């Protein structure tokens, strides 16, 4: 088995890239900001642009300190390693990215277990959490961390409401657990709900933002939390090889994204709503009503698997992602405009039997 990605066939250009918001390209203005960035040695503390990004993100999130990382996955792994000790148990939704899509990192790196909780659309309730908490006992793994994903990716890009986050955090903290937010698309939720980012994460001890999703930067994520936590997390960043050098060029792209690409997420949400409405009118497709920029659908009644559906769309220049045999995802982002959405709909109608 080789785990190396297949080289993409680029001979047919992708005209409408609904595969993921990770596919956004840095815009000319973002590249200009990167070119002009002041840089230094990030791991030596002398890159002023990285410090600026960390300070800006910490302020945005209302946290004491922040650190720049190469990826969101590394933010999750460093956070878990810093919060937990081997033998600990993390409580997270059973479909959480940290559980299904990070190559077993929590077990491999930190020696922790994850207990998957059920819940609609990727969101579990305070009652469900409460029921999963065991009395302290010599037999039980220490339950030290609750992880929430905002927005819940496999849940359909769904948003935890502020009240739901508060309740879950109250239960966690009452039992001496910390709360960590996988905020890969947290700003999508903040924009969709009209809640300030700092209010959204006020009850989470630690949180990170991905700059390579809807924010449109080529690389990077920022993990934020209490100063002593970030101080300790630096050892894990170093240990995992996440300390960088002239990272200011990438930090400049992230600062550009903070300045220009947050409010416009609302446009992605409008495009997703349009896409969902139009897809729901295609015979055989059932659409989950989107809350943000992810449109999940079931195409079983078309008679095609989602892989077959995706394979028929690709020669027409439309790319979608396959989640399951009959479940797919179309994702809007800053490189997809309303006209391209119309083009994708036309292509879907064309390829279906």
**Under rule CB under 6 A, which residues in 271-330 are in contact with ligand PLP?**
none
CB of 72 to ligand PLP, least distance (A): 3
Cβ neighbourhood burial of 113 (10 Å; 0-12, 13-18, 19+)? middle
Cβ neighbourhood burial of 91 (10 Å; 0-12, 13-18, 19+)? buried
The helix, strand and coil proportions of the chain, stated in percent and rounded to the nearest 5, come to 45, 15, 40
Q: Which is nearer to ligand PLP, 69 or 347 (CB)?
A: 69
- Binder of ligand PLP out of 23, 43, 64, 71 (CB under 6 A): 71
Whether 122 and 176 have beta carbons less than 8 Å apart is answered as no
Binding pattern for the stretch 217-246 against ligand PLP, x by CB under 6 A and - elsewhere: ----x-------------------------
Binding pattern for the stretch 94-133 against ligand PLP, x by CB under 6 A and - elsewhere: ---x------------------------------------
Q: What is the number of the residue whose Cβ is closest to ligand PLP?
A: 72
Going by C-beta distance under 8 Å and a sequence separation of 6 or more, which residues neighbour residue 206? 63, 79, 83, 178, 179, 180, 181, 223, 224, 225, 226, 229
CB of 184 to ligand PLP, least distance (A): 3
DSSP-derived letter for residue 259 is H
Q: Is 73 in the site for ligand PLP (CB under 6 A)?
A: yes
CB of 32 to ligand PLP, least distance (A): 24
Q: Is 153 in the site for ligand PLP (CB under 6 A)?
A: yes
Distances (CA, A) of 93 to 100, 108, 128: 10, 19, 10
Token representation of residue 136: 């302290």
What are the residues binding ligand PLP (CB under 6 A)? 71-73, 97, 149, 153, 182, 184, 210, 212, 221
């Amino acid at each position: 088995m080789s785990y190396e990605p297949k080289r993409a066939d680029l001979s047919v250009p992708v005209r409408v890239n609904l595969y993921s918001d990770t596919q956004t390209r840095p815009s000319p203005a973002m590249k200009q900001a990167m070119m002009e960035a002041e840089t230094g040695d990030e791991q030596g503390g002398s890159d002023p642009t990285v410090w600026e990004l960390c300070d800006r993100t910490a302020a945005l999130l209302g946290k004491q300190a922040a650190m720049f990382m190469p990826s969101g996955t590394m933010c999750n792994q460093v956070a878990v390693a810093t919060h937990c000790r081997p033998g600990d148990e993390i409580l997270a939704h059973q479909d959480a990215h940290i559980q299904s899509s990070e190559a077993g990192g929590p077990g491999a790196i930190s020696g922790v277990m994850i207990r998957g909780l059920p819940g609609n659309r990727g969101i579990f309730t305070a009652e469900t959490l409460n029921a999963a908490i065991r009395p302290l006992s010599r037999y039980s793994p220490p339950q030290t961390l609750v992880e929430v994903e905002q927005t819940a990716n496999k849940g359909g890009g769904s948003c935890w409401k502020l009240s739901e986050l508060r309740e879950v955090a109250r239960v966690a903290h009452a039992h001496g657990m910390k709360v960590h937010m996988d905020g890969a698309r947290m700003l999508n939720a903040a924009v969709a709900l009209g809640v300030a980012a700092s209010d959204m994460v006020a009850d989470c001890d630690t949180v990170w933002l991905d700059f390579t999703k809807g924010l449109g930067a080529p690389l990077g994520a920022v993990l934020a939390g209490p100063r002593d936590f970030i101080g300790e997390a630096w050892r894990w960043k170093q240990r995992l090889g996440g300390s960088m050098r002239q990272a200011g060029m990438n930090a400049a792209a992230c600062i550009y994204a903070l300045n220009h690409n947050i409010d416009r997420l609302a446009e992605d949400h409008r495009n997703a709503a349009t896409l969902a409405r139009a897809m729901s009118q295609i015979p055989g497709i059932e659409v989950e009503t989107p809350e943000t920029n992810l449109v999940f659908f079931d195409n079983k009644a078309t008679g095609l698997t989602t892989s077959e559906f995706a394979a028929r769309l690709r020669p027409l220049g439309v790319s979608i992602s396959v989640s399951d045999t009959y479940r797919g995802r179309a994702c809007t982002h800053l490189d997809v405009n309303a006209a391209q959405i119309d083009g994708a709909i036309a292509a879907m109608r064309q390829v279906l039997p």
